[in-house]
Amino acid sequence: MTTTVVDPPARSFRPLAGVLTAMAVSTTGTRVSAIALPWFVLATTGSATTTGLVAFAEMTPYVLVKALTGPLVDRLGPRVVSWTTDAVSAVAAGLVPLLHAHGLLPFWLLLAMVAVIGAMRGPGDLAKSVMVPEAADQAWVPMERATGLSGVTERLASTIGPAVGGGLVALMGPLAGLAVNAATFALGSLVIAVALPRGMGRPAVPGAAASSSGSSSGSEGEGEQGGYWLMFREGFAFLRSEPLLLAVIVMVGITNLLDAGFTTVLVPVWARESGNGPAAIGLTAGVMGATAVVGSLIAAAVASRLPRRTVFFAGFLLCGAPRFLVLALGAPMWVVVTVFAVGGFGSGFLNPILGAVLFERVPRHLLGRVHALGDSLAWAGIPLGGLLAGGAVALVGLIPSLLTAGLLYFATTTLTALRPEWREMDRLRGHTSTAVVEQEAEPARA
């Protein structure tokens, strides 16, 4: 009996750099739009409820389409999905300022354009995220470090985007921010389509997991070659069998709902009522993003040696309820900025830990489906966040809304930590990704 020795693929940082660049560009534009669009609606309608409705129109298709496109990402390949959806988003985002400038943008059409952007952003964001583990394998970078770098990229873009968005809105009006959003979508599409090396982001290989385990039945490969709903059910069945991932989804789903209402309605209304204006939105978000970059950098460097559960819930304690409380108390601007800075630092540790846990526990051939379902369930409350926050402000006012949301945030991120599932966070630390097996098995079959 002879053993075939397969050389590992040559080390290359180009795939990781390309994916992170595309993520940075698209996230920057999205963060610019997150300031420009609510301010545009507030300026033209003066209604917090209408502002929440626009957020609902964007995030509902984002969540629904993202949940349903996991099998398509696995079947078509994340690269194709990423550049095509970004291209469509660029067209839709560019039409908003163009049509408004010509007086051809009634409110219903604005909602339609925003819905298209949300529907395209969902699978586009998913596809970029799915390519991170493959890029990490080609760069020979540990998964926890790769997710840390992804977190740094997201946080850095979340720093630059709000700062640029606040400045543009203050100096040139919200339509300039919406135009920048369109340009970043176009650039992100170009990076994925042209800059990544050939063969990057291919469809999931049917039967790879079965081959790697030595099985000759091919049953898993048949599942990969099955229809859309069979692939969807496989992802759902796996997610249902993972108590830790389900616990993460429930907790993050609640905090995402509260964060959505905070960002899209409560902060803009606070900025208007306090007299600080759109520049304050950009300042607070920019400072929080800057310190989150620092937190993510530290996480990328040392998170593999820290207890995940403790760090995870400590980060949520810093970045959650204090933001709501400081705005409700009418604190001076320097206090607000300080609280947001501390919260940003804590939040920088969250996504690297969550990303590493996900990539360690999910087989690569199921990653698109499981990632899509998990993200969509965790984001399911985001469309309602703006609506609920807008309705709460209209009903009881800004300060009671901030206090109630802050209390809910605190309860969610502290009581959840008592559940036993969270002890699993460190169990598979450093577990070998199935992607390495797949990449080594592929040349052997050829």
pLDDT tens-digit series, residues 354-413: 777 777 777 777 777 787 778 778 877 877 888 888 888 889 888 999 999 999 999 988
The C-alpha atoms of residue 20 and residue 267 are separated, in whole angstroms, by 29
Alpha helices in 173-276 (DSSP H): 174-190, 208-212, 219-225, 228-240, 243-261, 267-274
Give per-residue pLDDT as tens, 314-338. 888 898 899 999 999 988 899 999 9
Confidence check: pLDDT of 340 > 90: yes
Instruction: Summarize the confidence of residues 263-291 as an average pLDDT.
Output: 84
- The answer to whether the predicted template modeling score (pTM) of the entire model surpasses 0.75 is no
User: Which of the four pLDDT bands, split at 50, 70 and 90, describes residue 212?
Assistant: very low
Q: Residue 428 has what pLDDT?
A: 55
Q: Which of 12-26, 40-54, 210-224, 361-375 shows the lowest per-residue confidence on average (mean pLDDT)?
A: 210-224
Confidence check: pLDDT of 439 > 50: no
Q: Residue 35 has what pLDDT?
A: 78
The C-alpha atoms of residue 198 and residue 14 are separated, in whole angstroms, by 11
Burial environment of residue 15 by CB neighbours within 10 A (0 to 12, 13 to 18, 19 or more): buried
Confidence check: pLDDT of 255 > 80: yes
Q: Residue 220 has what pLDDT?
A: 39
Confidence check: pLDDT of 180 > 60: yes
Share of the chain above pLDDT 70, in %: 87
Confidence check: pLDDT of 288 > 50: yes
Q: Residue 407 has what pLDDT?
A: 93
Instruction: Summarize the confidence of residues 429-435 as an average pLDDT.
Output: 47
Confidence check: pLDDT of 214 > 60: no
The C-alpha atoms of residue 236 and residue 411 are separated, in whole angstroms, by 28
Return the residue matching tokens 């990076």.
191
**Mean pLDDT computed over every residue of the chain:** 78
**Residue 282: closest CA among 386, 170, 175:** 170
**Residue 282: closest CA among 293, 295, 273, 271:** 271
The C-alpha atoms of residue 299 and residue 145 are separated, in whole angstroms, by 8
User: Which of the four pLDDT bands, split at 50, 70 and 90, describes residue 200?
Assistant: confident
Q: Residue 431 has what pLDDT?
A: 53
User: Which of the four pLDDT bands, split at 50, 70 and 90, describes residue 144?
Assistant: low
Of 31 and 218, the structure prediction assigns the larger pLDDT to 31
